[in-house]
Amino acid sequence: MAIIMDGKALAEKLRAGIKEECGRLPRRPALAVILVGEDPASQVYVRNKEKDCTECNIRSEGYRLDAHTSEDQLLGLIDVLNNNDLVDGILVQLPLPAQIDQEKIIHAIRPDKDVDAFHPFNVGKIVTGEAGFLPCTPAGVMELLREYDISASGKRCVVVGRSNIVGKPMALLLLRENGTVTVCHSKTADLAEETRRADILVSAVGKRGVITGDMVKDGAVVIDVAMNRDEAGKLCGDCVFDEVAEKASYITPVPGGVGPMTRLVLMQNTLAAAKAHLV
Choice among 88, 116, 199, 238 that is catalytic: 116
Q: How far apart are the C-alpha atoms of 233 and 227, rounded to whole Å?
A: 11
Active site residue 49: yes
Q: Is 88 a catalytic residue?
A: no
Catalytic one of 49, 113, 155, 217: 49
Residue 242 to residue 143: CA distance in whole angstroms: 24
Residue tagged active-site, from 6, 52, 88, 93 = 93
Give the 3-state secondary structure of the chain: CCEECCHHHHHHHHHHHHHHHHHCCCCCCEEEEEEECCCHHHHHHHHHHHHHHHHCCCEEEEEEECCCCCHHHHHHHHHHHHCCCCCCEEEECCCCCCCCCHHHHHHHCCHHHCCCCCCHHHHHHHHHCCCCCCCHHHHHHHHHHHHCCCCCCCCEEEEECCCCCCHHHHHHHHHHCCCEEEEECCCCCCHHHHHCCCCEEEECCCCCCCECHHHCCCCCEEEECCCEECCCCCEECCECHHHHHHHCCEECCCCCCHHHHHHHHHHHHHHHHHHHHCC
Contact 245, 253 (CB under 8 A): no
Residue 207 a catalytic site member: no
What's the rounded Cα separation, in Å, for the pair 275 and 105? 25
- Active-site positions? 49, 93, 116
